[in-house]
């Protein structure tokens, strides 16, 4: 359930660069609204309800990793969107400080940079945006 919620918002964010320019502002507004009023409050509520460090039980799960990845996407889009979610920021910090994750997040790691205009244009043609 948690990973499906993460996937829903991630898809909205990841497809944003591919949308036609005349639709971009409307989609960005929708993403901001859903981020702050639907998705992040739900995840924050889960962490608050059981008072533990992770979403499922008190151990790291795939859902936590996916959620932290989403939080990075959200932060890249607009850092202010995380302002009212202290438990999610704490989760992001905890997971980001795990040795393997910390190494992965270092400059020069495997994490891919945002697409260039050329790669975005190729994606638009392939996905018919």
Task: Give residue-wise pLDDT tens across range 99-122.
Answer: 999 988 887 776 666 678 888 888
Q: What is the pLDDT of residue 121?
A: 84
Q: Tell me the CA distances in angstroms from 34 to 27, 42, 47, one per residue in order.
A: 10, 11, 19
Secondary structure (3-state) at 65: helix
| Token code pair at residue 34 | 């859903």
The span from the CA of 72 to the CA of 109, in Å, is: 15
Would you state the pLDDT for residue 9? Answer: 95
- The whole domain housing 61 covers 1-127
CATH code of 84's domain: 1.20.1050.10
In this predicted structure, what is the pLDDT of residue 116?
83
Q: For residue 71, what pLDDT is reported?
A: 96
Instruction: Give the chain's residues under pLDDT 70.
Output: 110-114, 129
Question: What residue has token string 């994490």?
Answer: 111
The pTM of the full predicted model, rounded to 2 decimals, is 0.85
- How many separate domains does the chain show? 1
């Amino acid at each position: 359930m948690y990973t499906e919620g993460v996937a829903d918002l991630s898809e909205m964010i990841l497809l944003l660069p591919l949308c036609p320019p005349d639709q971009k502002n409307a989609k960005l507004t929708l993403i901001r609204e859903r981020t702050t009023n639907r998705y992040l409050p739900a995840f924050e509520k889960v962490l608050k309800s059981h008072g533990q460090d992770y979403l499922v039980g008190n151990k790291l799960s795939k859902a936590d990793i996916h959620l932290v990845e989403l939080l990075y996407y959200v932060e890249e889009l607009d850092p202010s969107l995380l302002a009212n979610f202290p438990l999610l920021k704490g989760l992001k910090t905890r997971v980001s400080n795990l040795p393997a994750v910390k190494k992965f997040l270092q400059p020069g790691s495997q994490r891919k940079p945002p697409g260039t205009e050329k790669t975005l244009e190729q994606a638009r043609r392939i996905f018919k945006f």
